[in-house]
Amino acid sequence: MADRLTQLQDTINQQAEHFCNSVGILQQYSTPSKFPGFDRVGTPQPHQTQEDYASLFATLIARCAKDIDTLIESLPSEESSQELQVASLSRLEQENIEAGEQLEEVVRQGESLLQRIQAALQDIAQSQLDMQNPITPGAVVLNTNLTANITTNVTPVQSFIKQENFANIGLSSTNHTHSASSPNSINQ
């Protein structure tokens, strides 16, 4: 964005272009006038509506003049004193600080909302995983020897029951079935 003086200069140049174009177009499409003693019949020119061009350029010139007035009014005047300019700058600085605080508050609210949404999405994803892989309560992860990996305080009876639950599944191979009848015997 250019400063106000550059904007004003550009708008004045645009106004000059509108004046030149309007004079050129109006001259090009104007009807010839007759001179006394000169009866030469010229070739007929296509008659364009001159009123359309006149209203178009009048609108463009008026709009550009209004823009020039607005830009001139926005320029600082010589009458404004140092104190008025300092007061204006301090007011603008205060507005800037307030806007910054509002922005920080909106950012905090947004981050809080983002955390809540992420937690909800994590809960949804965990629920979907739990529904896809249902695990019976109290099931224990087994290693390759089908022995229970017990990391919590579990009594030997609970360990036996858990191992027995997995042992009764029955793994079938080509000729014989393996099952565990006791917690200490794995393959028979």
| Confidence grade of residue 41 (pLDDT, cut at 50, 70, 90) | low
Q: Is the pLDDT of residue 111 over 70?
A: yes
Q: Is 123 among the domain residues?
A: yes
Give the model's pLDDT for residue 31: 74
Contact 163, 146 (CB under 8 A): yes
Q: Quick one: 57 and 125 in the same domain?
A: no
Average pLDDT of 7-12? Answer: 94
Residue whose C-alpha is closest to residue 159's, from 134, 167, 188, 169: 167
The predicted structure's pLDDT at residue 173: 44
The tens digit of pLDDT for each residue in 66-101 reads 999 999 988 877 766 788 888 888 999 999 999 999
Task: Record the tokens describing residue 23, joined without a space.
Answer: 């004079």
Asked if 186 and 147 touch (Cβ cutoff 8 Å), the reply is yes
Q: Is residue 90 part of a domain?
A: yes
Residues 159-182, mean pLDDT to the nearest whole number: 46
In this structure, what token pair is assigned to residue 50? 């001159």
Q: What is the pLDDT of residue 20?
A: 94
Domain span at residue 114 reads: 84-129
As separate numbers, helices (DSSP H) first and strands (DSSP E) second, the chain gives 4, 2
CA distance 86 to 181: 93
Number of domains in the chain: 2
pLDDT band at 118 (very low <50, low <70, confident <90, very high): very high
Taking the CA atoms of 174, 177, 183 and 188 in sequence, report the sign of the dihedral they define.
Answer: negative
Name the band, by pLDDT with cuts 50, 70 and 90, for residue 159.
very low
SS3 at position 128: helix
Mean pLDDT of all residues belonging to the chain: 75
Q: Is residue 184 situated within a structural domain?
A: no
Coil, strand or helix: which one is 49?
Answer: coil
Q: Are residues 57 and 111 in the same domain?
A: no
pLDDT of res. 42: 55
Higher-scoring residue by pLDDT: 116, 24? 116
Identify whether residues 108 and 63 lie together within a single domain: no
Q: What is the pLDDT of residue 7?
A: 92
The candidate with the shortest Cα–Cα distance to 89, out of 153, 30, 97, 119, is 97
Say how far apart CA 40 and CA 36 lie, in whole Å.
Answer: 11
Q: What is the largest CA-CA distance in the chain?
A: 135
124 and 63 in one domain?
Answer: no
Task: Please state, in angstroms and rounded to a whole number, the distance separating the CA atoms of residues 42 and 37.
Answer: 15
Evaluate if residue 46 carries a pLDDT over 60: no
Residues 118, 58 share a domain: no
Report CA dihedral (173, 137, 150, 163) to the nearest 10 degrees: -40
5 and 57 fall within a common domain? yes
Residue 101 in any domain: the answer is: yes
**Residue 175 pLDDT level (bands cut at 50, 70, 90):** very low
Identify whether 112 is part of a domain.
yes
In a domain, 148, yes or no: no
Going by pLDDT thresholds of 50, 70 and 90, the confidence category of residue 137 is: low
Q: Does residue 114 lie within any of the structural domains?
A: yes
d(CA 11, CA 75): 14
Q: 68 and 94 share a domain? A: no
**Residue 144 CB burial class (10 angstroms; 0-12, 13-18, ≥19):** exposed
Residue 97 counted as domain residue? yes
